[in-house]
Structure 1
C-alpha cells in the first residue's frame, strides 16, 4: 500500500491536517504553527512528505521525512 502524504490546509476553525486522498481532515488546530507541528510529527512517524498550503490553497512548502529518491538540492535551513 503506498504511503499517503500529509497536507496542512486552511480550515473554517483554523488549520487542519489532511491525509492525501482523504475526504475528512485529521486534526484541527487553531494556528498554522500548531497544525505544522502535528503534521510534522505524523509525517515523521509515517515516513511521508509534509505539504504546507497557504490561505489561498496553493502549496507553499514541502518537506520529505521518508526515503526520498530525488532529494532537493536547495538548503532551506
Structure 2
C-alpha cells in the first residue's frame, strides 16, 4: 500500500498533491478539482488513502482505495 495522498492549498497559489510525509508537492495544479482528480488517480494506483483538505487545512473528505480492515466486507 502506498502513501496517503493529500490535496492541500499551496501557500503561494493553486493546489498541491502531497504524499504523506513529503515536503515537496508531487503535483501542482491551478484548481482544487484538478488536484483531486490527479490525487485520486495516484491513490487508486497505489491502493492508498486520499485526503482532501479545506482552505484552512482541516480535512474535508477522505477516500480509501486500499485494504480497509474495518470494512464490513472484510469482517465476514
Which TM-score bucket, shorter chain as reference? 0.7 to 0.9
Moved >4 Å (runs of 4+): none
User: For structure 2, which runs of at least 5 residues remain unmatched after alignment?
Assistant: none
How far apart, CA to CA, are the structure 2 residues paired with 1:55 and 1:30?
A: 14
Question: Which residue is equivalent to 1:27?
Answer: 27
How far apart, CA to CA, are the structure 2 residues paired with 1:51 and 1:71?
A: 18
- SS of structure 2 residue aligned to 1:35: helix
Q: Which has the higher helix share?
A: 2
Partners of 1:52 and 1:62 within 8 A in 2: yes
**CA-atom RMSD in angstroms:** 1.4
TM-score of the two chains, using structure 2 as the length reference: 0.87
Question: Which residue is equivalent to 2:51?
Answer: 51
Q: How many equivalent pairs are there?
A: 71
How far apart, CA to CA, are the structure 1 residues paired with 2:32 and 2:23?
A: 20
User: For structure 1, which runs of at least 5 residues remain unmatched after alignment?
Assistant: 73-77
Between structure 1 and structure 2, the one with the greater Rg is 2
